[in-house]
Chain A
């Protein structure tokens, strides 16, 4: 029958067609993001690679929040502003933290994020097929090494020997066990030395904020001082001074306000800007919502006031030191361009709060978007560090001169050493003056924590600042998630006492 024939044929055709899907449709390439196999091939692409390293410092794990907290909570410049200080922060300031402390874990993750991104750039810049001049490759790699050296320095000074990665991981199995402290320092010194050699001493306006050779020198000087190598540090610091590129700005507060970023005193800053919106609460600095820091909201006199200046720091100031009023707000001070007066501060006494890095000097209240750059290294620190080196190397008079140079700032104008309170007739007395000057000049700038660690380790601490201190507190514990998930580490690798 005809119909049956048609049916049979149709059936056959249909049946065979059923099994013939075009498998090409299963090949879908991500149209939104570049494949890793076709990138970092020229100078512009390498530069974007190193840009991401800078961006990592902006994350919530680092300068947007946890990094300044970690330093401030481990130093003695700060005390809790009241009971609103969250538990994990209180643990650190009271020395009751354990390996699960998330503030510390965040900073750890953030620092390794910097290292990972830097490793990608360093590795890519070394590839012969990259279309860029050697000078360009070296500069970009130099910037990356500045960051990698800095990040490892933060890690080794706070945690001791840590897992050391000089190439970026491509599989979870690439994790590393703890290297020795010396091994980590070797990488740091090598990195920062390369950075000094390959980085320019300054940039044009479009590249302002990139790491310079001077920033690398200052960072390496910090490293040498931490290891007790004051001679090497002095050489580097003297190079910075003799470059005549830097000077103390007249107005102390210019170092902590938004209008005077990248001024002549500044060697390196982590940039923030409130032009792009509020805080994105993102640990890694992704997107345009992580261009601000929450520091204003955390510390502000009419904001959360989570940390306030410690009584010790307040007492450290000499009478009439103008830096006291420049560092702190008190009841009765004006803010918002002088239009409003502080009448109350919540919670704990003293009713004194940080003014450094606060936004209310020009706005009615703090919020979660401070755009003030963090001055990571400024010239005052270089001078004071040099003073310490000179004193350590028995060049006391030069140290005193440097201290006095800092006190000569136009807006400071403090009497020269010796003062009745701070005689400088011996190495020990000069050291005491250095400790004092450093503390009041650089208070709340994430310097003090490392100074305490250094002086304690070198037996120079005038007195132990922390009543809680036990031997274990010299180092932070390796974060629990790292111990759990790094297959090269076991609980036996934990720092003693944790």
Chain B
């Protein structure tokens, strides 16, 4: 099969003139062709008036209390009916009390009510998640859920807006099976998102498509603007975005106007975020005790504790006890305020929204703010022409955590900071106390760093599209879309001068200043023809697409130092001004086609083919071909199933095969260039430098598309009238030609390893989703659960014995990547026991028959005995082994929600199972390599033979390397989290009307708690959710699951109000 499509690689395209122009001209042509502008049909709603009738009236509202116009109210068994008016009111005459009224509205669960003796029947219609998703958004079109043959998970707007989150990916956590979202901590930081495992060492982030525009690895969208989100997981679903679909595709569709009437919604919440865990650190007296255990008291403790903390202070060090956790963590506010104005109708639909989001950080020196506006509109310009646009404008500002989640993280220094030292010293430059020589310990002062170092990321931009949709015939339409994604960045990093007094560590003699301004402009032009026709039992849908996307990124960094003043934070008037600027460009041309064929609505077949050319590859390797096929069988539609239709409402089996690609690598990776930043001073005073050029990166012109071959089998079903619905998937994805930085030996002398299509990896797994909905009187509820199981295995790294060892931690590489194992598993020694006596050490030394060859150099009673896996009687690197993995066995989510009268509630659990965390936090808490503050566990360190402890002896310098990379620092990372709990109450409309004199149609107040409870065995860090600190970048795959002092997720309590006018 693969050979077959590989042959289809000739030049398909006829190079013509600029094709954007072509599309525009075409649209203009049709637009000016003078199609009659038709008036929208005004439907008449004949109301049957019968004699002897009972008139029943009432009001229909939705589950948020909002009046619902246009709801069909029909008397069962007849064609008699009416629709609700703009206020959701209706009135209908029925023959007698036996009549049953049926209330229905698309997207809501149909309700039936027997009239009986009632004359007023008020109804609350509940969103029907199942029917809402009856139409799913697929690439370049939509499809009925029942016809879908690919693996697509849908997440609705209600789920997406349940959490107080800033980004869509955070909202996605636990909502779709097979989608793993790991938060990365500080406000505004992007989480790591992986769909169906980790397909590549390279960039494994999914592709985000917002309103048809592929925007890359991150979607800047207000989650509350989203109408629906689809996760395309298998080849057939994703292959239409073939070129960049290897890691899955997340499609986002933003809202449009729905209701005829102008609808104004205001949605506001405020809340407080708080840290929810504190580590057990040594207090002052314990610290001094521990310093004594470790090898001697620092000079200050010996004879300086009664000195004032600074000249003139009344407080002495002996009277000081600083809780550095309390100093660094705090409660912080979170708030979002939004309005939406929308109007639907036959001619024009408009949706306009604006919002402001502001999240403080629970750790000092962090926050995120964003303001955003969206305008979406669509207009029928004639019977056949529809034009529309989307536009999103945002401005955001983030204060970043310095060294967030990396080796020198704040949390590391919160642990390490000395309790008898104060936070401030007004006599020091900068105003902070810093450790001094007499403390014999030099942790970076975390409060000073968090306060003085100002690291800001500011962004603003526009994502806008315009489109024209021309219905050439009823069965053929042409669509032209032009879009642009513009992002401005302005990042600044400023550190004023500070010092720690005489003999103090960590000084910054002069202010350091750096600013980076960047601009990215990515336009896209799409031409699309859609053929859609049913001939008798045959339904055919064909899509043809030609698309061109390009991008230009430019940036300039200016930096310098200022020894004169701290007041100027600009790189202006600085001592060595430096500038660095550059431009990067990329482009891609894509031709895509898809055929969907349906026979009798039960036999489904699909085929797609996409061909992409990318500027990131050399001419001869530029084009990639991405085919996919799928088939489905709706068993429930077969005659032989008709007896079971009461039970099995819907049953479909489907399968797909296809290939998707990945070109997420550097824009010019294949081009060999010189590095020009090698400077040296050839003069006496060394105040000027000379430039050096060399070849420091190895280029590879043979780079080609990375490909993932995807196989998927799925079963979808609905039972008992779709009260129960389920979906099960099995998949196997094999990455071939994985673009990796070849591990090259140091002796080649290159700094940059060449990229090559060298490795392969496989992800296999199961996913399932189960839902149940119930209605008993006024109590309606539904429950759903999903789970994704994935097994990751690196099949090859391109050569025998090649490996990656990454994340150097004091001489040990914590992660190891090698064929036959999951990507970047944890690697180290296994702890066997603690040596209780010299006899035990002697015995170990003699294992190999020669007592003079040491089992472990420098071992003494109280040290850890590591396991001699190769049995040679000596602990060597050959005794290292796999000691854990960051990829969980499975991830899951459980959701309950319901309504009772005017109350609504939601409970959402999310969890991961079977992963491990390498805790460098534990290293700082218990490693005892040198004097810093530590966890209380060190007080239980080994002192006497026979002592029952797993903490080795406290010894300065750790001669036995008790703190080497070992399973001592590996902990179970599984957790289950009560991610969200919410309760809402809609003020009854009657009350609202009378109190507000009809000016407010809807008012719902709610309470929501996020991250309320977390069950985990992970003890040594603040939070078991450990992302990768540069989660978005290539290389992120090596860094996951190592807790470098990860910024913890806050517990958030919010109260909110939703108001409809």
A contact set with B: CB distance below 8 Å: 3, 6-7, 10-11, 13-37, 39, 45, 48-56, 58, 80, 82-88, 90-91, 94-96, 98-102, 105, 108-109, 112-117, 119-120, 162-163, 165, 168-172, 174-176, 203, 205-210, 261-262, 271-273, 275-278, 283-288, 290-291, 302-304, 340, 343-347, 363-365, 367, 371, 373, 479-482, 484-487, 489
Q: Are B695 and A120 in contact (CB under 8 A)?
A: yes
Q: Is the CB of A53 within 8 A of B692?
A: yes
Partner of A344, one of B299, B680, B748: B299
Contacts A11-B476, A109-B746, A367-B508 known; list 7 others, CB within 8 Å. A7-B473, A25-B615, A49-B693, A98-B877, A175-B745, A271-B686, A346-B299
Are the CB atoms of A175 and B748 closer together than 8 Å?
Answer: yes
Known interface pairs A51-B690, A208-B682, A365-B504; A278-B512 also in contact (CB < 8 Å): yes
Known: A10-B30, A33-B676. A482 touches B747 (CB 8 A): yes
B139 in contact (CB, < 8 A): no
Collect the chain A residues with CB atoms within 8 Å of residue B14's CB: 16, 19-20
User: Knowing A39-B674, A51-B680 touch, does A26 contact B692 (C-beta < 8 A)?
Assistant: no
- B716 CB–A CB distance under 8 Å: no
Contact with A along B290-328 (1 / 0, CB 8 A): 000011001100000000000000000000000000000
Q: Of residues B295, B672, B747, B959, which shows the largest number of chain A Cβ atoms within 10 Å of its Cβ?
A: B747
- Of the candidates B502, B673, B689, the one whose C-beta lies within 8 Å of that of A340 is B502
Given A17-B26, A26-B615, check contact A83 B294 (CB 8 Å). Answer: yes
Q: Which of A37, A115, A163, A303 contacts B505 (CB 8 A)?
A: A303
Q: With A175-B747, A273-B687, A484-B743 known to touch, is A26 a contact of B439 (CB < 8 Å)?
A: no
Name the residue of chain B whose CB is nearest to the CB of A301: B437
B298 A346 Cβ-Cβ under 8 A? yes
Q: Which of B686-735 contact A (CB under 8 A)?
A: 686-687, 689-696, 698-699
B394 interface hit (Cβ, 8 Å): no
Q: Is the pair A94, B857 in contact by a Cβ cutoff of 8 Å?
A: yes
Asked if A87 and B747 make an inter-chain contact with CB atoms under 8 angstroms apart, the answer reads no
Name the residue of chain A whose CB is nearest to the CB of B583.
A31
Also in contact, A23 and B674, with CB within 8 A (given A58-B680, A284-B751):
no
B693 and A54 contacting across the interface, CB-CB below 8 Å: no
With a CB–CB cut-off of 8 A, which chain A residues contact B619?
Answer: 26-27
With an 8 A cutoff between CB atoms, is B17 at the interface? yes
CB neighbours (8 Å) of A108 from chain B are 746-747
Bound-state CA distance A58–B529 (Å) is: 60
Instruction: Tell whether A22 pairs with B749 under 8 Å between CB atoms, given A32-B582, A52-B693.
Output: no
Which residues of the other chain, B, contact A479 by a CB distance below 8 angstroms? 746
Docked Cα-Cα span, A275 to B574, in Å, equals 12
B576 at the interface (CB under 8 A from A): yes
Closest Cβ–Cβ distance, residue B531 to chain A (whole Å): 11
Near A by CB (< 8 A), chain B positions 958-979 give: 958-959, 961, 963-964
Residues of A within 8 A of B135 (CB): none
Contact residue among A19, A54, A273, A287 (Cβ-Cβ distance under 8 Å from B677): A287
Binds A, one of B804-812, B945-953, B1051-1059: B804-812
| Interface membership of B775, Cβ < 8 A | no
- Residues on A with beta carbons closer than 8 Å to the beta carbon of B745: 163, 175, 481-482, 485-486, 489
A20 touching B810, Cβ below 8 Å: no
Query: Is there an interface contact between A485 and B744, defined as CB atoms closer than 8 Å?
Result: yes
Number of residues on chain B facing chain A (CB within 8 A)? 129
- B683 at the binding interface (Cβ < 8 Å): yes
C-alpha spacing A175/B742, complex, angstroms: 13
Q: Which of B533-588 contact A (CB under 8 A)?
A: 544-546, 548, 550, 559, 561, 575-576, 578, 582-588
B683–A206 touching, CB < 8 Å: yes
Name the CB-closest residue of B to A487: B799
List A contacts of B18 (CB < 8 A): 22
Verify B504–A22 contact, CB threshold 8 A: no
CB contacts (< 8 Å) of B803 on chain A: these are 484-485
Interface check B598, CB cutoff 8 A:
no
Determine whether the beta carbon of B858 is less than 8 Å from that of A484. no
Q: Are B744 and A27 in contact (CB under 8 A)?
A: no
Do A87 and B958 touch across chains, with their CB atoms under 8 A apart? yes
Q: Say yes or no: is B679 at the interface (Cβ < 8 Å to chain A).
A: yes
Which residue on chain A has the smallest CB distance to residue B294? A83
Contacts A20-B17, A49-B693, A83-B929 hold; do A480 and B680 have CB atoms under 8 A apart? no
B residues with a Cβ closer than 8 A to A are 12-19, 22-23, 26, 29-30, 33, 294-295, 298-299, 437-442, 472-473, 476, 478, 499-500, 502-505, 507-509, 512, 527, 529, 544-546, 548, 550, 559, 561, 575-576, 578, 582-589, 591, 613-615, 619, 622, 667-668, 671-684, 686-687, 689-696, 698-699, 742-751, 754, 756, 799-803, 805, 808, 810-813, 857-858, 876-877, 929-931, 956-959, 961, 963-964
Taking a contact as CB atoms under 8 Å apart, the answer to whether A18 and B668 are in contact is no
A291 touches B681 (CB 8 A): yes
Q: How far is the CB of A21 from chain B (nearest CB, A)?
A: 4
Q: Are A21 and B13 in contact (CB under 8 A)?
A: yes
A115 touches B744 (CB 8 A): no
Question: Known: A29-B671, A52-B694, A303-B505. Contact between A205 and B679, CB under 8 A?
Answer: no
In the complex the two chains form, is B681's CB within 8 Å of A117's CB?
no
Q: Is the CB of B19 within 8 A of A34?
A: no
Interface centre among B15, B545, B677 (most CB of A within 10 A): B677
Tell whether, in the assembled complex, residue A21 and residue B589 are in contact, meaning their CB atoms are under 8 Å apart. Answer: yes
Residue among B437, B588, B749 with the highest chain A CB neighbour number at 10 A: B749
Check B675–A273 contact: CB distance below 8 A.
no
Known contacts A98-B877, A100-B812, A209-B682, A25 near B689 by CB under 8 Å: no
With contacts A10-B26, A26-B589, A80-B957 taken as known, whether A18 is within 8 angstroms of B544 at the C-beta atoms is yes
- Compute how far the CA of A112 lies from the CA of B619 in the bound complex, rounded to whole angstroms: 33
Q: Is the CB of A480 within 8 A of B877?
A: yes
B693 adjacent to A112 (CB under 8 Å): no
Of B589, B693, B813, the residue contacting A23 (CB under 8 A) is: B589
Chain A residues within an 8 Å CB radius of B299: 344, 346
* 8 shortest interchain CB distances as A-B pairs: A116-B749, A20-B16, A52-B692, A51-B692, A273-B686, A83-B956, A486-B745, A33-B673
Q: Are A115 and B19 also in contact (CB < 8 A) when A14-B527, A100-B877, A273-B681 are?
A: no
State whether A371 touches B686 (Cβ < 8 A).
yes
Collect the chain B residues with CB atoms within 8 Å of residue A56's CB: 678
Q: Is the CB of B587 within 8 A of A25?
A: yes
Given A87-B810, A90-B957, A271-B680, are A30 and B502 neighbors across the interface (CB < 8 Å)? no
Q: Chain A residues with Cβ under 8 A from B591's Cβ?
A: 19
A-B contact pairs, 30 of them (CB 8 A): A7-B472, A11-B476, A14-B26, A14-B478, A20-B16, A20-B19, A25-B589, A26-B615, A29-B668, A48-B690, A48-B693, A51-B690, A52-B692, A58-B680, A85-B957, A86-B811, A100-B877, A116-B750, A169-B750, A171-B754, A172-B756, A209-B681, A261-B686, A273-B689, A276-B576, A287-B677, A288-B677, A364-B507, A484-B743, A484-B803
